[in-house]
Amino acid sequence: MIQPDRFRLDTHAQAAPLGEDVACQDTLISLRQQIGNLKTHTLDVQQKNETLMAELAQTRLQIEAIHASASWRITAPLRYVAARLPNSWQRWLRRIFRALWWVVTPHRMPARWRYLKRPLGYAYSPPCRPEDLERIIESMGQRPVFSVIVPLRDTPQELFLKMLESVQGQWYPHWELILVDDKSRTSSVRKNMEKLSDSRIRNVFLEKSEGISAATNHGLAVATGDYIAFLDHDDELTADCLFELARCVQAQAPDYIYSDEDKILADGSFGDVFFKPDWSPDALMSTMYTGRVSCVRRAFLADVGGLCTEFDGAQDWDLILRVTEKTQRIAHIPKVLYHRNAKPHVLESGRRVQIAALKRRRLAGTVESLPQLPEYSRINYAMRGQPLVSIIIPSKNNGPVLKCCIDTIREKSSYRNFEIVLLDNGSSEAGTLAYLKTLESAPDIKMVHHDAPFNHSELSNIGSRAASGEILLFLNDDTEVLTPDWIERMAGYAQLDHVGAVGAKLLYPGGSKMQHAGVLNLVQGPSHAFFQCDADEPGYFLRNLIEYDWAAVTGACLMIERGKFNAVGGFDEDFPAAYNDADLCFGLVDKGFYNVVCQAVRLIHHESLSRGNDHADEQQLRRLALLRGALYAKHPRFWDRDPFYSINLAQDNIYFALRSREG
């Protein structure tokens, strides 16, 4: 794979003439675009082929099942009669039967929805042990020792042996296993422990049952390794787990490491794989997404403290929240290194973990259950103070739509300390001009006229300079507010020190299908995740319902503090219509900020009513391709990379489909 670093100009080389330099940059951008187009085409062909083959196989199975069913045999006379009816009658019968089919089988969803629960076709493949493994380990400048801590309580022998085998089968030899029996009621646990003869295994027997957190803390007290790895008594490590952790320590020297994981299913196979994003602080406040394997530097853990018994059931979530409050040296290994047995989400413990984190961080906010899934919660941060919010709206010849937008802002917004900065981009239609005239004397409107060729970035920058607020809210004129406390909710996130841009969930008219819930950076460029899916679907591991961090959010509704906006230089006016929001958000990530979508905030977005569709014709597609090349030339870190989307997922699929093995 060609890496973006290969295309970087040598800044120490002798300067070329200006014309040659420009031509060189144009050539490089063109080459990048050609490579991107080829990759997109290849992945598209592979994905379509795999999809068609899977659908064909599934269809064949369905046909065989239908032909073998009793209902097929029973209805044979009806089919015989129907086949001899007039064509018009047959069409009506097919429609009736199709309607009845959807009524009695509501679980059958459109194909794209199948991606929302889990990637299709996942099968865990054990890694191949390197032939020169010993040499690789020996060449490591740092060979950390891992203390694997396992609290035990009435562990079934079969699960105990599988867990034990997964540790003893590690490629990496520098480990100790600390087994802590939390006074099991069954004698088999102690007997199994006492049979072990491996010198790297240490047994701890508690005199009374103290719970999972206390038992783990007893293990921590006797651990001697450089890093602590937590393992539940009914889970398993992959054979390469500690080896990959050691390589990560060698490369990054992190304080905390997490990996991808899957679940051990009832039949013993592996499924429900979770390919995770890189470090996403807002996601962790909503759910324990980092999960396992979870590995913490022991010296660092001593400063943070052990597990808190008051949070039993969600003790690891509380611990990792405290760990990540103290360090930014966090590493994610995008490989499945842990097989996990399914465990119920402990609702009350999880909520108390979130409340404790808010209190510890001195942040005001409430923990709210998700309406769609009450066992999960989101954070609604309280707005600090009563800041003036400047709502910046560019518009041209769009009077009726603009009026609807402004009316919903005025009528539905519960927060009232806002101003509307209206950028008129040279309107000429009589109806629009008449409406604009009615706004000129309105106390909450600040009118700015800018009669120049359309440049959304330029208009937004002009609006930001005319605005008086410390919080800027860029809004398209073809939006309608649905959520009354939308400003407070978005501002609560925008005021967090680590947050850059804040987006909202944008829906098409009707309020059920999504236009925006977050932007993925895929091979075809920035793309809207879960496009056209149902607004209340959970998405891939709740990404459509809770506040995850994203590579970018759409500029159709984007809130940001003025200081952060200025820190990245505002919108780049070289992106007049497309990718200006992605450019801004990429710049914020480069500065160390995180972009988040506030999924509880909903607006209607008619999308491109003002100018039409960017993808309408070949000329516009060429323009988009050039702008996309310029975007990645400016942000090479994002060329072929989205830190908030796993490399193990399809790089051309907005529904979080599993990446093909060949991809």
pLDDT digits (tens, 9 = 90+) for 163-197: 999 999 999 999 999 999 999 999 999 999 999 99
Whether the pLDDT of residue 113 is over 50: the answer is no
Residue-level pLDDT at 122: 86
Residue-level pLDDT at 91: 65
pLDDT in tens, 491-500: 999 999 999 9
pLDDT in tens, 331-372: 999 999 999 998 776 678 899 999 999 999 999 999 999 999
Residue-level pLDDT at 207: 95
Band (pLDDT 50/70/90 cuts) for residue 607 is confident
Quickly list DSSP for 284-339.
Answer: HHHS--S-SSEEEEHHHHHHH----GGGTTSHHHHHHHHHHHH---EEEEEEEEEE
**Cα within 13 Å of Cα(55), Cβ side:** 10
pLDDT in tens, 405-464: 999 999 999 999 999 999 999 999 999 999 999 999 999 999 999 999 999 999 999 999
CATH class of residue range 142-362: alpha beta
The predicted model gives 613-624 an average pLDDT of: 72
Q: Is 118 strand, coil or helix? A: coil
Most confident of the following: 8-12, 103-107, 345-349: 345-349
Distances (CA, A) of 439 to 129, 137, 407: 71, 71, 12
Whether the pLDDT of residue 221 is over 60: the answer is yes
Residue-level pLDDT at 117: 40
The predicted model gives 147-152 an average pLDDT of: 98
Q: If you search the block for the tokens 């914020």, which residue do you land on? A: 588
Tokens of 385: 């103070």
Q: What is the DSSP letter of 495?
A: T
User: For the ranges 71-85, 106-120, 577-591, which has the lowest average pLDDT?
Assistant: 106-120
Distances (CA, A) of 368 to 506, 545, 590: 21, 12, 31
Whether the pLDDT of residue 51 is over 60: the answer is no
Cβ 265 vs Cβ 198: under 8 Å: no
Which residues on adjacent β-strands are paired with residue 559?
A: 473, 502
Cβ 524 vs Cβ 498: under 8 Å: no
| Per-domain boundaries in the chain | 4-55, 142-362, 389-638
Residue-level pLDDT at 622: 86
C-alpha closest to that of 261 among 118, 137, 89, 460: 118
Residue-level pLDDT at 431: 96
Question: Hey, what's the torsion of the CAs at 16, 19, 22, 28, to 10 degrees?
Answer: -70
Residue-level pLDDT at 326: 95
**Percent of the chain scoring above 90 in pLDDT:** 75
Q: Is 361 strand, coil or helix? A: coil
Which residues on adjacent β-strands are paired with residue 135?
A: none
Distance CA 381, CA 366 (A): 6
Q: Which has more confidence, 93 or 435?
A: 435
End-to-end CA distance of the chain: 11
Residue type, 549: D
Write down the mean pLDDT value for the chain: 87
Distance CA 475, CA 401 (A): 13
Distance CA 421, CA 474 (A): 10
Residue-level pLDDT at 621: 84
The predicted model gives 108-126 an average pLDDT of: 56
pLDDT in tens, 306-324: 999 999 999 999 999 999 9
Whether the pLDDT of residue 88 is over 80: the answer is no
**Cα within 13 Å of Cα(602), Cβ side:** 16
Q: What is the DSSP letter of 285?
A: H
Cβ 554 vs Cβ 506: under 8 Å: yes
- Same fold? 142-362, 389-638: yes
Whether the pLDDT of residue 632 is over 90: the answer is yes
Cβ 229 vs Cβ 235: under 8 Å: no
Distance CA 352, CA 499 (A): 24
Tokens of 436: 């604009």
Q: Which has more confidence, 134 or 662?
A: 134
Whether the pLDDT of residue 600 is over 70: the answer is yes
Band (pLDDT 50/70/90 cuts) for residue 12 is very low
pLDDT in tens, 459-490: 999 999 999 999 999 999 999 999 999 999 99
Band (pLDDT 50/70/90 cuts) for residue 611 is very low
User: For the ranges 83-92, 243-252, 384-393, which has the lowest average pLDDT?
Assistant: 83-92
pTM score of the predicted model: 0.81
Classified by CATH at the fold level, domain 389-638 comes out as: Spore Coat Polysaccharide Biosynthesis Protein SpsA; Chain A (3.90.550)
Distance CA 372, CA 1 (A): 42
Whether the pLDDT of residue 60 is over 60: the answer is no
Cβ 319 vs Cβ 255: under 8 Å: no
C-alpha closest to that of 227 among 147, 322, 328: 147
- Would you mind telling me the total number of residues written for the chain in this entry? 663
Distance CA 582, CA 212 (A): 44
Question: Strands, E, within 513-654: which ranges?
Answer: 514-516, 519-522, 525-528, 549-550, 557-561, 594-605
Q: Which has more confidence, 656 or 69?
A: 656
Band (pLDDT 50/70/90 cuts) for residue 22 is very low
Band (pLDDT 50/70/90 cuts) for residue 9 is very low
The predicted model gives 189-212 an average pLDDT of: 95
Distance CA 591, CA 568 (A): 8
Which residues on adjacent β-strands are paired with residue 175?
A: 146
Tokens of 598: 């506030």
**Percent of the chain scoring above 70 in pLDDT:** 80
